[in-house]
Structure 1
Amino acid sequence: MKNSRRDFVKKAMIGTAAVSFGGILPGFSAKSYSRILGSNDRLMISCMGLNARGFAVGTNFANQPDCEVVYASDVDKRAADKFIDAVSKIQTKAPKAAPDFRRTLEDKDVDILMVAAPDHWHATAAIMAVQAGKHVYLEKPASHSPAEGEMIVEASRKYNRKIQMGNQRRSWPNSVGAIAEIKAGAIGRPYLAKTWYTNNRASIGIGKKVEVPSWLDYELWQGPAPRRPYQDNLIHYNWHWFWNWGTGEGPNNGTHTVDLARWGLGVDFPVKVNSSGGRFRYQDDWETPDTQIMNMQFADNKMISWEGRSCNNQPIEGGGAGVMWYGEKGSILIGDSTSYKVFDITGKLLRHVKGDPVVTDARSLSTPSQQLDAIHLRNFFDGIRTGAKLNSEIAEGHKSTLLLQLGNIAQRTGRTLDINPENGHILRDKQASKLWTREYHKGWELKV
């Protein structure tokens, strides 16, 4: 039985890790390899949103030998220039600057739109892209609201385009190995998964209403969101903590580990969701919780919890981000990017399965290892080229994003939500149901 389980886990991890990485071909870089491949053999990519995470993913795309980044779109000219300069050193041709990504969708040669813009843009950009015949690599969270998530899934099906959500841990070998252990019965029936994310974010202060900087197209940045005056503590990152544009720490970073928890437990939609927390650390403009505990209960006696601490990074189980599954016979922990631990029912460590060492902080997901991310990109390419199953196809990405969105709705209404386990919809709560969708700026209403 042990050999059978070990063989199963080994095959699962090898199958994931064996995909090709950008630049791993001996003696070849993406730039040299692209000279061999004809343009018809390469996937052409337009990148939207080029700060932090977008820069990391976009340059990783450029590092893949069988694709080419052809457009760089950002409302901040400085970010676009920095990205173009970086990519021009990786591939033979520099991407073209395209401040408005919508123009790039008109190019019939573009195969993929990468979306790493703020959350309020995710659904709008993704739906526009598939309507234009493009595949989409969509950074997490899938959407700003549950209704948008459903619409993205519908659009993907209607226009027959692939959408991969960028919760790249679905492709990391240690995640695949841990899930394989669970499925092989290493801890018996799993019934509880605890997840967490910690950081030590500073106060964002009280913003001042000031003139829009010359380097920023604030009107385009707002896009589908209702208009608000510009303030000096909003862009580039702090929009995460304002409900008009962001979704808080849960969908921002909790999606990664909650997605793994849901995968390991084998659950989809919950029956009850509650949340406690608030903005506890500082008194400033930050609207979403900086301290939060969500609980999602499922119909078959299974449960997921997520603890978020944006302003106190005391590790949990030795790490700043992770997931622990509890079963009838033991537990499994993922607390870093390259390994997992298996414990018996008494808490005794049975084995620590380690992969290749990678220097990355699990809580800093804007620039994780390019090799680990590349596995997710390669799977996306395989899905487009061969129809291979996507590791984070948008329907799965929506389900995981939805859990955190429901937690936020429970937090904002101050009560436990009853949920339809068939589709994730809120039951018998008109106030909470109003938060299922969002308000749009006139003329930006979503249509599939």
Structure 2
Amino acid sequence: MKSTVLTRRGALKCSLAWAGAAVWTHRAPRALGFTNANARPRVAAIGTGSRWCQRATGIDGPHGSAPSFVPFGDYVAVCDVDADRLGLAVDVVQEWTGKAPDAYGDYRRVIDRNDVDVVQISTPDHWHAKIAIEAMLAGKDVYCEKPMTLTIDEGRLMCEVCRKTGRVVQIGTQQRSDESFLTALAIIRDGRIGTIKKATCAIGGGPTSPVIPQVAAPKNLDWNQWLGPAPDAGYRYLAGDNGETQSWSRCHYEFRWWYEYSGGKLTDWGAHHVDIATWAMEKGATGPTLIEPLAVKHPVPFSAGFPTDDTQYNTATEFLIKATFADGMELEIRHDGDNGILFEGTEGRLFVNRGKVAGAAVDDLANRPLPDGALRAVYKGKEPTDHFRNFFDAVVDRSEPISDVHSHHRALTTCHLAGIAARLGRTIRWSPTAEKIVDDPQAQSFVSRAPRNGFETEV
């Protein structure tokens, strides 16, 4: 893989500055709108699991972002390391458009195409940053499912490459485009609950698994490529009445519960609620200074921050973690309670989740509505719209989308720090300016991870 990446980098002059100038020239003629067939962005999907479209996994379900892409862009390619899912993805796109997209098992074939304008990333978390960075360097705009990264250092690199290439990158934290959360933000911005003192993010606990045997990977799955930059590991699978895959495994969907590929609930749902809390608290350009794991439960034993049993899920199942900012503002992440975010201010409280916004300040809207344009002001000066429309509008006008890499990196850093503190079982101190853990080399070692040989990210 390394030689291929370097060859591509050579074509790009190995320079981020050059890449930025080149892709602006390349992209401009197609940033014209969504109705003209000659101007619609050409989209390639990398990762075609259930977050892309449940139908491509054999489930007749409603979930997935792909159908929301169809009004704005044309799928010209799909890519997956699972040949069965890849075949279903081809069928789904052909049904939508009347034309079969090109199909690949290797994402580099997509990155190398000059006619792809937008790369949509729906892979497991440990692949997100590498593919997104290489796509940006190759002149593509990116829609990447959350969480954006597996580590803090990946987030820093994502921000650097995005700045230097000028690419439009939207993260799939769709709550930023949800009316309930925008209303909550507008209420807070208008001072209706005073100054925020604390936000509590209830994100639900993580699952456990039985012992999962190591078995041969199915013939339709390129297990080595699925692992990619993650450590080499045997394929584990146990059929049973569990989740959308009806199994326990290290792979499809269930990868979320292994620290090798994800951060568990802390980054799965944390990427949603901690993101909103950070936005509301106006901490999108900084981070906490103290992270305390007040209570953490893991399903397997740990030593020096690493699980010692590789036969079962290993991410935290229960947790109460407090992050404190330099000004004393607190953000709690917990597994219990009503899923959502509770904001506590000097003049009241407000609760919001995907189903409701509640509190005295909400009740007061009947008598004292929000000012005109309050939601628009929260939504970066744009008219609030569908999360996918917001992305494609940004592709057209080259503006920053609502879920940008920079603020999401800061929010997700809190989630990653919570995971590090949980794994080590101790309080850690963080410098938001240096983006380093203070006086704890062992904890700092978790801020990045060395990729497996052959899967390095070259920039």
TM bucket (normalised to shorter chain) is 0.7 to 0.9
Shift of 1:54: 2.0
1:435 matches 2:446? yes
Q: Give the corresponding residue for 1:277.
A: 296
Q: Check the 8 A contact 1:204/1:238 in 2, yes or no.
A: no
Alignment of 1:354-433 (within 5 A): 375-433=386-444
Shift of 1:210: 1.4
Q: How many residues align?
A: 379
* CA distance 1:189–1:421, shift in 2 (3 Å): same
Question: What is the DSSP-based 3-state SS (H/G/I as helix, E as strand, rest coil) of the residue aligned with 2:393?
Answer: helix
Q: Give the corresponding residue for 1:173.
A: 179
Query: Which whole-Å CA distance do the structure 2 matches of 1:38 and 1:99 have between them?
Result: 30
Query: Which whole-Å CA distance do the structure 2 matches of 1:391 and 1:223 have between them?
Result: 30
Q: Give the corresponding residue for 1:264.
A: 280
Question: What is the DSSP-based 3-state SS (H/G/I as helix, E as strand, rest coil) of the residue aligned with 1:418?
Answer: strand
Q: Give the corresponding residue for 1:342.
A: 359
Give per-residue Cα distances to partners, 1:15-43, cap 9 Å, x unaligned.
Answer: xxxxxxxxxxxxxxxxxxxxx94433211
Q: Give the corresponding residue for 2:43.
A: 45
Fraction of identical pairs, as percent: 28
**Which blocks of at least 5 consecutive residues in structure 1 are unaligned?**
1-35, 310-315, 354-372
Shift of 1:350: 4.4
* CA distance 1:126–1:198, shift in 2 (3 Å): same
Q: Give the corresponding residue for 2:342.
A: 324
Q: Give the corresponding residue for 1:302.
A: 329
Out of 251, 258, 269, the position equivalent to 1:242 is 258
Query: Which whole-Å CA distance do the structure 2 matches of 1:388 and 1:246 have between them?
Result: 30
Out of 218, 223, 236, the position equivalent to 1:218 is 223
Query: Which whole-Å CA distance do the structure 2 matches of 1:352 and 1:432 have between them?
Result: 49
Shift of 1:58: 4.4
CA-based RMSD of the aligned residues comes to 2.4
Question: What is the DSSP-based 3-state SS (H/G/I as helix, E as strand, rest coil) of the residue aligned with 1:70?
Answer: strand
Question: What is the DSSP-based 3-state SS (H/G/I as helix, E as strand, rest coil) of the residue aligned with 2:211?
Answer: coil
**Which blocks of at least 5 consecutive residues in structure 2 are unaligned?**
1-33, 54-62, 238-248, 302-308, 368-383
Question: What is the DSSP-based 3-state SS (H/G/I as helix, E as strand, rest coil) of the residue aligned with 1:89?
Answer: helix
Shift of 1:443: 2.5
Shift of 1:417: 1.0
Q: Give the corresponding residue for 1:32.
A: none
* CA distance 1:281–1:219, shift in 2 (3 Å): closer
> Normalised by the size of structure 2, how large is the TM-score?
0.78
Out of 96, 103, 108, the position equivalent to 1:90 is 96
Q: Give the corresponding residue for 1:71.
A: 77
* CA distance 1:426–1:237, shift in 2 (3 Å): same
Query: Which whole-Å CA distance do the structure 2 matches of 1:58 and 1:49 have between them?
Result: 12
Question: What is the DSSP-based 3-state SS (H/G/I as helix, E as strand, rest coil) of the residue aligned with 1:41?
Answer: coil
> Normalised by the size of structure 1, how large is the TM-score?
0.80
Give per-residue Cα distances to partners, 1:280-300, cap 9 Å, x unaligned.
Answer: 599961111011122110111
Query: Which whole-Å CA distance do the structure 1 matches of 2:398 and 2:143 have between them?
Result: 15
